[in-house]
Structure 1
Amino acid sequence: MRGRAAEPSVLVITCLDDATADVVIEELNRRGVPVVRLDPGDFPEHVTANASFDCSGMGGTMRTQTRTVELGAVRSVYWRRPSPYTAAPDLDEQDGRWCVDQARYGLGGILAALPHAHYVNHPWRNRDAEYKPAQLATAARCGLHVPPTLITNDPVQARQFATEYAPVLYKPLWNSDYIGPDERARTVWIEDVAPQAIDAGVSRTAHLFQQRVRKTADIRMTVVADQQFAVRIDGSPGVDWRRHYDALTYTPIETPPDVIKGVHAYLDAFGLIYGAFDFGLGADGRWWLYECNPNGQWAWFPDAICQPITTALADELQHPGERA
């Protein structure tokens, strides 16, 4: 389907390589719902924006290489994993930085202000909910169980915490891009940390230390509006199950009523429609919250688990704001 969409469209904001967005787009296409996929990282080379403003509000169009969408005719936005804003390679560093800032506040501002759109989730709500200190504080207020956690740049306090609450994990506060000397991308994984391993390097920035839950399994709980999809994850030989996908088994499970109440209070507190919650299932049966990714992926699950989540998201985007 080329050209201007005649019906209200779903706008999917993401990069090219996004399997999670792919399955939602496929489902919307199957239903005949007009979809426009747009990556802000393609601006301005492959994306053209024309937004006008007057006393009646905002109007105009957004054009990619294959689609044109009326800004006032976007029924919903699935904000997934956009690429960073970029500048033309022939610009010097200062000019390039200026252009990137203008793109972020110009195009980014347009995409965040679409007049009739239902956002899953709004990018500013995603941003607010990405800070782990805010996540943990909000989760506790919402009645969810939070493991003892310390965020610090004080090595002495870190060692004391690691001694008192052993075993303790270190977790990055943000998954920054990191390129090693071999030019390969590196990932900072969640790892056990002993008190004696904590040195003066802690003083160079903020570090998150958390008591390791004595767990029997991990749980990924994906929430779409009023629906929740909890999956028990077994088989991880290490503390970070993301390193061992091939060894894992997945089992859909029921969610305790107190956890349902807590996660929906949490989403409401941040103004989110969608959230991917990670829990540890304690030996005592408690669900201990590690974090909530407001933009988390789920397409690696087997089809039997993946399809209901796909359906729920497509329903939310096709019929904005309607609850099951």
Structure 2
Amino acid sequence: MNILILGNTSDAHAIHIKNALIQAGATANYLDTSLFPKQLQISWQPNTQLGYLTLPNGRELNIQNIHSVYWRTFSGVYVPEFKDSRQQRVAYNDSMSTLRTLMQVGSTKWINSWQAYQFHKEKPLQLSTARQVGATIPPTLISNNPQQVTEFCQNYEKVIFKPVYGGAHTQVVTKAHLEPQRLKMTLSLAPVTIQEYIPGTNIRSYVIADSVYSAEIRSPSVDFREDLDAELIPIELPDSIKKQCLAIAKAFMLEWTAIDWRVKPTGEYIFLEANPSPMFIHFERQTGFPITEKLVKLLMN
């Protein structure tokens, strides 16, 4: 059984999954897209649906024989600098188009898919979709309008801001951030996501197919993902929130994800984010949840 790991040996999670797959009896190789087109080779015939992937070590795989791919990190493609910028743009676009085709043709199961990866990048749409399937989301504004940002912040006792595209770097909004000239200059460069700060408990739920594993994360940080010393305590979710986890994963086209919640003192769960390729090794070691085992089973089934 041929299984690929989208990533390389610089990532501990890619190494971990590869080793686990080999121990389970699968044939596992890295798919490092930064080596395409110089060292990776891709061929595909739309009329016959035949295609081949030749790895840097010379191993050739029929695309139809690649059982699944574990999406850990996507590095894009690497096209060297051309003297002619137009030719370089053409080479880059052609390489990306070929790679995106590989990610979407044939019977190969991608965990997670290109479509899920693209959806994840649209964080405002992700929040809206979560709300549509029944999750509660924080009061949120995505804007580069200084007046609307200022008015939104005045409506709440405590407000945070973070990148629209996602990631860490969540910070509390201060009076200095809202100074008119500074705010105007900042928002002229890019929009920002502003949210009411939700006091309460951090919960992370890992969803793997129809399994859900959750733990409380105790950390004083505004963004617990930046706290390496956060304490993890396994918990059992209410049935209604378990169902929301599965509904969110389905709506986001995710067979595997980590969903972050904030639980208010009242017990209300607030959806924050769903990650299509979350880190999990530390979480698994601290909680004892069989995440690796479930992921291997998902990739090999």
Give the aligned partner of residue 193 of structure 2. 208
Match of 1:10 among 3, 23, 36: 3
Distance 1:164 1:195, change over 3 A: farther
Gapped regions of structure 1 (runs ≥ 5): 1-7, 177-187, 320-324
Give the aligned partner of residue 104 of structure 1. 96
- Counterparts of 1:252-291 in structure 2 under 5 Å? 252-291=234-273
Gapped regions of structure 2 (runs ≥ 5): none
Paired residue secondary structure (1:251): strand
* Residue 136, structure 1, aligned to residue 121, structure 2: no
- Distance in 1, matches of 2:284 and 2:111, equals 23
**In the alignment, residue 2 of structure 2 is paired with which amino acid?**
S
Q: Which moved more, 1:86-95 or 1:66-75?
A: 86-95
Distance 1:10 1:307, change over 3 A: farther
Q: CA deviation at 1:94?
A: 3.0
Q: CA deviation at 1:263?
A: 1.9
Q: Which moved more, 1:35-44 or 1:188-197?
A: 188-197
Match of 1:170 among 161, 167, 170: 161
Q: CA deviation at 1:237?
A: 2.4
Distance 1:132 1:306, change over 3 A: farther
> Normalization by structure 2: what TM-score?
0.91
Check whether the contact 2:70–2:111 (CA below 8 A) recurs between aligned residues.
yes
* Residue 197, structure 1, aligned to residue 177, structure 2: yes
Check whether the contact 2:6–2:32 (CA below 8 A) recurs between aligned residues.
yes
Paired residue secondary structure (1:169): strand
> Normalization by structure 1: what TM-score?
0.85
- Distance in 1, matches of 2:244 and 2:175, equals 33
Q: CA deviation at 1:88?
A: 2.1
Q: CA deviation at 1:209?
A: 0.4
Q: CA deviation at 1:137?
A: 0.8
What is the percent sequence identity of the aligned residues?
A: 26
Q: CA deviation at 1:307?
A: 5.9
Q: What are the Cα deviations for residues 61-97 of structure 1, in whole angstroms up to 9, with x where unaligned?
A: 2111233221111111212212121112455433222
Distance 1:305 1:27, change over 3 A: farther
Q: CA deviation at 1:189?
A: 0.8
- Distance in 1, matches of 2:221 and 2:24, equals 41
Q: Work out the number of aligned pairs and report it.
A: 295
- Distance in 1, matches of 2:256 and 2:84, equals 39
Give the aligned partner of residue 76 of structure 1. 68
- Distance in 1, matches of 2:99 and 2:136, equals 39
Give the aligned partner of residue 223 of structure 1. 207
